[in-house]
Amino acid sequence: MSVTAAGAVGRGAHRLSLSRQARVLGLVVGIAMAVFILNSTLLANLEPPASTIHVPWWSFVLVFFVVEAFPIHVHIRSEAHTISLSELGLVLALYLVSPSDLLLAQLLGVAVALGLVRKHHP
């Protein structure tokens, strides 16, 4: 009898996790669609800020990759904190590239860092 109860709890927990996974996947797809629509309608016509420095957008892919792939780990007493410096690349890119290029560079750099270096599943 306890085996049946344990099996039922296990199956219920599995259903709950599938439901949670479906909600997360739906959220990710919804955000991706919103970003695509925003990028194709509003951000497509914006120009980068006036600057005498020309930096190609793909160089920010490298910046976002490095700051996400190698976060800083700080140990204070018995606590550990992880700090990502992704804001540095974001602030630089806001001044040097167009908004759509910034979005593309951040998406590619972070995706490659999380997928290849930190081994996160999609």
Q: Tell me the three state secondary structure of residue 65.
A: helix
**For range 19-28, the mean pLDDT:** 84
Q: How far apart are CA 30 and CA 50, in angstroms?
A: 33
Res 51: pLDDT: 66
Q: How far apart are CA 28 and CA 30, in angstroms?
A: 5
Q: How many CA atoms lie within 13 A of 86 on its CB side?
A: 19
What are phi and psi for residue 76, nearest 5 degrees?
Answer: -120, 115
Q: How far apart are CA 29 and CA 23, in angstroms?
A: 10
Are the C-beta atoms of 108 and 66 separated by less than 8 Å?
no
Are the C-beta atoms of 46 and 90 separated by less than 8 Å?
no
What are the pLDDT digits (tens) for 89-103?
888 888 888 888 888
Examine the pLDDT at 1 and tell me if it is beyond 50. Answer: no
**For range 42-59, the mean pLDDT:** 76
pLDDT band at residue 31 using 50, 70 and 90 as cut-offs: confident
